[in-house]
Amino acid sequence: MRQTRFGFIALWSVVALTCASNSEGPVQPTRTKGPADEGLRIVEPIYDRGFKGDWQDFGWSRRELKAESPARVDMSDYGGWIVARPGLSGTYDAVLLRVRSARPLDFFTVAVSAGKQGEFPDVKVGGKHLRQLEGGEVEVMVSMKELNPQGRSFDRLVLRAHRPIPAGFIELDAIGLWGSTDAKRQADVAKAVATAARKVDVAIECDGASHAINDMIYGIAYYPMNDHKDQHVWSMNPAIRRWGGNHTTRYNWKLGNAWNTASDWFFKNVNYTPDPRFNWTDFLAADTQRGVKTALTLPTIGWVAKDTSSYSFPVSVFGKQKAVEPGEPDVGNGTNEAGKAIQPGPPSRTSVAMTPADIGAWVSRIRERDQKAGGRSVHQYILDNEPDLWHITHRDVHPEPASYDELLQRTVQYGTAVRKADPEAQIAGPASWGWTGYFFSAVDQVAGFSAKPDRRKHGDTPFLAWYLKELRNHEQRTGTRVLDVLDVHFYPQGDGIYGGSRTDADTNARRLRATHALWDPVYRDESWINDAIELLPRFERVIADNYPGTKLSIGEWSFGAENHISGALAMAETLGRFGQSPVMASAYYWTYPPDQSPSYWAFRAFRNYDGKNARFLEQSVATRDARDVSIFASRDSGKSTVVAVVLNTSSDAIEADIQTSTCGGVQLARTFRMSEIAPALAPTKPTREHLAGKPLVDVLPPQSITVYELAKGK
């Protein structure tokens, strides 16, 4: 709790809107209930005397943002303000805010957005949204039924005037997204635990197959602008952070703070960070200071940002465009008013060349610094990001789709430069975007996968199989291995699972089933893919057949819904399955969960379940699952301790008999649990006392994650 000028308010200030009357007369509040009356609580704070979490200022009108002060925005001349949180996910019931205005609020409009015009309705504030508070203040609550009737994904909030008003500031003190509470569900869960619906037998099989777990599977990614925020990522105890994403394809290491936003944001060169001095050296230093490894994405597209201000599609050069950057009328999106892509000008408008020799020089600089410090700061170099989409994301400098031959050539050229500069480097690539990229090139994508001209040209061999075989041939010819790790990205393609991150009952069930795509040869993906993905076994076979000894990285992954238990369960299932694969070298969640979200705690189940960095251990241990119950187990090299993570993905309580007899007389030391109704790991006790050599009997609450730490007696 903390003091605000609105009084003591738990967790975060309620946001409200105040309007003073004038000759036109104020909008009259007609709403009588507040958030608590609606069964709501704040679940995503946006602004409260400053931005919260990852929320950022996206422009556009004249405004004043001072620390510990309300935001002041001039909404004259159809003005407004956009606040955004890239990667926002979750389900919300309402937007709540407060504003001080010297004029009636009949000009005021609220909307959510995903960056494209016309996707979401504009909601004009009226009396039904307003509630009179003491002291003349008015609370505004706009429901998501009005703002987002189709339940789509959004990542920004737009506050604007829908008609002309005189110049002058209005004040917005605090803004937040609100969600539901459900006391009845808590009572139902308690009753379900008391009378578990069914029993299952599962096992930790310490005498079964085992292999070492590379801790780099517990990786996260990041946006550069967030490195000075979000300190909660360190309490997650990630093993490694990935410097990556679309913007790093055009990162200029020589300038240090210059990126290009690509198609994500108007093909514009920017300095992403609030600290203009921030660069790669700061990122490496932050990781080294905390004992976290680093994966560094290296540009291989051949072009990087030449400054922090140029942009590829000036309206003054290319004419009117479908969209321009808010507040920057000359910065176009590269699409004409008819919706067709504009042919780009020369890459030199925004970029300078970045050759293999330039990248080799960067790696050499890193190694020189490391040698002086007596350690290694970069533990994996990644050869760029999603090159099979360059003709879309970076079409201003790479308008033609990348072919089989181009990607192989770039891997050899840049990989050779890295290997020469750092002979012991671990090199990963090609960072393919997803399913179609595993089998086809971008040339095939543009021509049509049934035509697949590039694949036919290469013996009709699926792209990644061909790519690995050619790199193996290259090593045999030259004696130089330029790729150690096959890097692919994976996002579930089912409607609303990741894209949109819906949390209705049907989507939640499909989200949990979608995790079967990681390992299950029977599961047929419930999306346009409509095939058995079996991601990890598939690539184990591809590697064994084409380049034995290569490891696997899932360079980006997420199942969305970070603020919902279904997203947390999917995260825990994924981390567990990664640990069971013997070829896994690394994996990077995109990007990282919000502080205290269910997914934040799911990550901590493997990396910091007790708040003191207790974690899943070094050796994977075989297990036996049951329907709706997944069990993942590990032990230390001395075989004295076992840590298991057990998931109940069903909506019923389940009594689990966990066999431990093959683990050398271990008995339960500690238990930690989170669930749908208690989404934070906390110590708990099993249903029955656990004795060495006996089954561990416990009732697993519905939709829960439980960590068991077992140890041999002293």
Note the pLDDT of residue 714.
53
For the record, the structure tokens of 278 come out as 């921030």
Q: Are residues 276 and 327 in the same domain?
A: no
Looking only at the bridges linking them, the beta strands covering 629-635 and 704-711 are: unpaired
Q: Are residues 283 and 142 in the same domain?
A: no
Mean pLDDT of 85-104: 78
Mean pLDDT of 301-306: 98
Rounded Cα distance, 411 and 485, in Å: 12
Q: Are residues 165 and 100 in the same domain?
A: yes
Q: What are phi and psi of 411, to 5 degrees?
A: -60, -45
Query: Is 85's pLDDT higher than 60?
Result: yes
Residue 329: is it exposed, middle or buried by C-beta count within 10 angstroms (0-12/13-18/19+)? Answer: exposed
- Show the beta-strand stretches assigned E in 76-121: 80-84, 94-101, 108-113
Mean pLDDT of 64-78: 84
Domain limits at 651?
Answer: 184-207+623-711
How many angstroms separate the Cα of 283 from the Cα of each of 259, 288, 359? 15, 9, 18
* Tens digits of residue pLDDT in 311-327: 999 999 999 999 999 88
For a pLDDT cut of 70, what percent of the chain falls above it?
Answer: 90
Residue 510 lies in a domain: no
Residue 609 lies in a domain: no
How many angstroms separate the Cα of 487 from the Cα of each of 414, 483, 518? 15, 10, 15
pLDDT band at 39 (very low <50, low <70, confident <90, very high): low
Note the pLDDT of residue 10.
26
- Name the domain count of the chain: 4
pLDDT band at 583 (very low <50, low <70, confident <90, very high): very high
Query: Is 483's pLDDT higher than 80?
Result: yes
Give the list of residues 6+ apart from residue 74 with CB closer than 8 angstroms, or none: 61, 62, 63, 167, 168, 169, 170
Note the pLDDT of residue 539.
98
Closest CA to 188 of 677, 686, 687, 683: 677
Q: Are residues 200 and 266 in the same domain?
A: no
Q: Are residues 193 and 294 in the same domain?
A: no
Q: Are residues 107 and 218 in the same domain?
A: no
Q: What is the DSSP-derived secondary structure letter of residue 575?
A: H
Mean pLDDT of 45-72: 84
CATH code where residue 390 lies: 3.20.20.80
Asked if 259 and 304 touch (Cβ cutoff 8 Å), the reply is: no
For residues 15 and 694, which has the higher predicted lDDT (pLDDT)?
A: 694
Rounded Cα distance, 709 and 623, in Å: 15
What is the torsional sign of CA 189, 193, 195, 199? positive
pLDDT band at 41 (very low <50, low <70, confident <90, very high): confident
Rg, Å, the chain Cα set = 27
Q: Are residues 83 and 222 in the same domain?
A: no
Q: Are residues 396 and 486 in the same domain?
A: yes
* Tens digits of residue pLDDT in 411-458: 999 999 999 999 999 999 999 999 999 999 999 999 999 999 999 999
Query: Is 202's pLDDT higher than 90?
Result: yes
Q: Are residues 246 and 162 in the same domain?
A: no
Domain boundary among 510, 544, 560: 560
Q: Are residues 545 and 664 in the same domain?
A: no
How many angstroms separate the Cα of 40 from the Cα of each of 3, 141, 179, 180, 260? 21, 11, 5, 5, 40
Q: What is the pTM of this model?
A: 0.79
Q: What is the DSSP-derived secondary structure letter of residue 688?
A: S
* Tens digits of residue pLDDT in 502-544: 888 899 999 999 999 999 999 999 999 999 999 999 999 999 9
Mean pLDDT of 583-589: 98
Q: Are residues 539 and 642 in the same domain?
A: no
